[in-house]
Chain A
Amino acid sequence: MDALMTQLEALLADNSIFTLQTLSYYTEGLTVTVQLVFLSLLIGLVLAVPLAIGRSSKRGWIKWPIFAYTYVFRGTPLLIQLYLIYYGVVFVDGIQETWLWVILEDPFMPALIAFTLNTAAYTTEIFRGAIKSTPKGEIEAARAYGMSTNLMLRRVVLPSAFRRALPAYGNEVIFMLHASAIASVVTIMDLTGAARFVYARFYAPFEAFLFVAAIYLCLTFAILYFFRYLEKKLLAHLQPMS
């Protein structure tokens, strides 16, 4: 590791912008971005499954509130949602004295909440579409076997719905990664925040932003490959024989 660092230092010796110092901003930014995106996607996914089932329900009192939620969060820009959750809550009188402030004080949590609620809304709609397009025959067959609704959901509807939702969900993951670039407006030093810092410090927009764009590209490639692998594995039965 030390040898690597000295080598890196030698490599950067005559570079005025990309010193070890600025590179450390980028690595910290990478960590924050990955944490933020991974956590919001994970929590969003956990929330989205029951919400999608509820959204496909025939009962109005379950279906409509969930529809209202997805409509609001898909119908407004993520930036506005982030502003509301970070700056807006400040105007609730006395919030600094409540336990909520412990969560909302640090910029990371408001950003995580905004990103999670946003991605959960989109994922809910993706899953709902997949659940809705379950072939009628499969449901009738499950009923004919005397399966309860729960068992049918668990064994028939959800497994095939997840498979169908996979390509669309992969897109949502990539969108979420790119949407996380707005985190720096609430002072979070994510990848974009690091790039903006380097830009402002050295007045070097091309270097700062091209470098960060390359990092985002690498992350996107990793996500693409992961989903391609999943699709190959889970959708193998849909592939042509040879």
Chain B
Amino acid sequence: MCTFKLEIDNEKILTTSLLGLAIAATSAQARDYDEIRIGVDVPYEPMEYRTPDGELTGFDIDLGNALCAEIGIDCEWVVQGWDGIIPGLLSRKYDAIMSSMTINEQRREQVLFSEPYFQPPSAWFAPEGSELTDTTEASLDGLTIGVQRGTLQDNYVTDMFGDVADVNRYSTADDMVLDMEAQRLDIVFLDYPVGQSTLLQSDNRAYKVVGEMVTEPKEYFGDGFGIAFRQRDEALAEQFNEALATLQEDGTYDEIYNRYFDAK
């Protein structure tokens, strides 16, 4: 009897507090942000990291600041560890997350994503002296391609070029680079940042990127990164989507992109 009553009481309390929350939510939705805080987990080069004197920098940071400037609101960056980054958003420590977060279904249940603003690129790397200029089926015919086993690049290359070229699969990127140096591989297909640090910035700098960077099709390369908001902040997400479209049109986006992903 007693417990039953207690339950009713609890329920009442819950209903009341839910009601209160709902009111708070409505008022939050109605509110226009003139200043927002963005959560970010550092370091994750070149997306977000600190300069030697402690300043936050990176692709996400620069793009985020540009988006805020476009919308006309002030941005403040809040550094938060990855584990707690979504709980931090939901508990209002900050109002958005811009931290190389891949859009996926599990996260969609908790947060509201903007349009994808970035697709981590994969790229083809070949020795400097290679005559390859593009990566069509015809030009890769009969060549040996290196990939890391089980990566999305492996799946892509296997399906697209598995019939015309030899695909060598490696457990680690290091083994693959070694075989590239040994001239056993004609070309490798890698995450661009990995290739940048292991091949382009290697001591002898004897490698180049062949063709365009690859981010399509989606069934291989995923949805890309999105900015996460609380579910109810639809208006805010819409503002960011519009700003993103503007920046992509007027070339600001490309300018920031080239700052961090210069294909040289």
Contact = CB atoms under 8 A, between A and B. Distances in A.
Q: Is the interface of B mostly helix, strand, loop or mixed?
A: mixed
Given A90-B178, A187-B168, A197-B169, A105 B149 contact: no
Nearest to A193: B169
Nearest to A96: B183
Interface residues of B, number: 16
A187 B166 CA distance: 11
Contacts of A196: 149, 169
Interface of A: 87, 90, 96, 105, 107, 185, 187, 193, 196-197, 199-201
B149 A197 contact: yes
A116 to B, nearest CB: 21
Given A96-B183, A187-B170, A200 B154 contact: yes
18 contacts: A87-B175, A87-B178, A87-B182, A90-B179, A90-B181, A107-B168, A185-B171, A187-B168, A187-B169, A187-B170, A187-B179, A196-B169, A197-B149, A197-B169, A199-B150, A201-B150, A201-B154, A201-B158
A238 to B, nearest CB: 48
A190 B214 CA distance: 30
B108 interface: no
Interface string B175-206: 10011011110000000000000000000000
Contacts of A197: 149, 169
Contacts of A201: 150, 154-155, 158
A161 to B, nearest CB: 42
A105 B184 contact: yes
A200 B149 contact: yes
A90 B182 contact: yes
Nearest to A200: B150
